[in-house]
Amino acid sequence: MTATPALAAKGGPRPVAPVNQEVAAQFGAEYKTLPAAVVGVDMEPLIGVNTLGDIEAKRAAMADYIWKGAGLPRSMPAVEQDVTGPEQFASLTGVKRIDQLTVPLGYRVANKVYDIVPRRAWNHRLALYHNGHGEPPDTMLRTVQALLDRGYRVMAYAMPFHHWNAQQIADPNDPGKLLPGPSHRELPPWESAGFSTLTFFLEPLTVTLNYALDAYRPLSVEMIGLSGGGWTTTVYSALDPRITRSYHAAGSLPFFLRPASPKPRPTIGDFEQTRDALPGFYAGVDYLDMYVMAAVGRDRGQLQILNRFDECCFNGVGHRVYHLPVRDRAALLGGRWDILEDATHGGHTISPYALSVILWDLDNAE
What's the pLDDT tens digit per position in 170-216?
999 999 999 999 999 899 999 999 999 999 999 999 999 999 999 99
Look at strands 169-171 and 174-179 and give their pairing.
antiparallel
Whole-number pLDDT of residue 130: 98
Closest CA to 8 of 352, 306, 302: 302
Chain center to CA of 301: 13
Class of domain 21-75+174-365: alpha beta
SS3 180: coil
Chain center to CA of 256: 20
Closest CA to 111 of 208, 44, 38: 208
Cα–Cα distance between 157 and 140 in angstroms, integer?
10
Closest CA to 315 of 357, 345, 279, 295: 345
Q: What is the mean pLDDT of the chain?
A: 93
pLDDT above 70: residue 3: no
3-state SS string for 256-303: HHHHHCCCCCCCCCCHHHCCCCCHHHHCCCCHHHHHHHHHCCCCCEEE
Task: Please answer whether residues 41 and 256 qualify as being in contact, where contact means their C-beta atoms are separated by less than 8 angstroms.
Answer: yes
Cα–Cα distance between 277 and 256 in angstroms, integer?
16
CA torsion sign for 142, 146, 151, 155 is negative
pLDDT above 60: residue 56: yes
Whole-number pLDDT of residue 264: 60
Chain center to CA of 311: 19
What are the Cα distances from residue 344, in Å, to 1, 22, 166?
A: 9, 9, 33
What's the pLDDT tens digit per position in 68-98?
999 999 999 999 999 999 999 999 999 999 9
Q: Name the H helices within the chain.
A: 21-24, 52-67, 138-149, 198-215, 228-239, 279-282, 287-295, 320-332, 352-365
Cα–Cα distance between 180 and 185 in angstroms, integer?
14
Whole-number pLDDT of residue 146: 98
Q: Which of 2-6, 242-246, 334-338 has the lowest mean pLDDT?
A: 2-6
Query: Could you check whether the bond before residue 35 is cis, i.e. omega within 30 degrees of 0?
Result: no
pLDDT above 60: residue 8: no
Is the whole-model pTM more than 0.85?
Answer: yes
- Overall residue count recorded for the chain in this entry: 366
Per-position DSSP letters for 189-201, written without gaps between them:
GG-BTTB-THHHH
User: What's the average model confidence in pLDDT over 325-339?
Assistant: 98
Cα–Cα distance between 215 and 195 in angstroms, integer?
29
What's the pLDDT tens digit per position in 258-309?
888 887 666 777 889 888 899 999 999 999 999 999 999 999 999 999 999 9
Query: Could you check whether the bond before residue 264 is cis, i.e. omega within 30 degrees of 0?
Result: yes
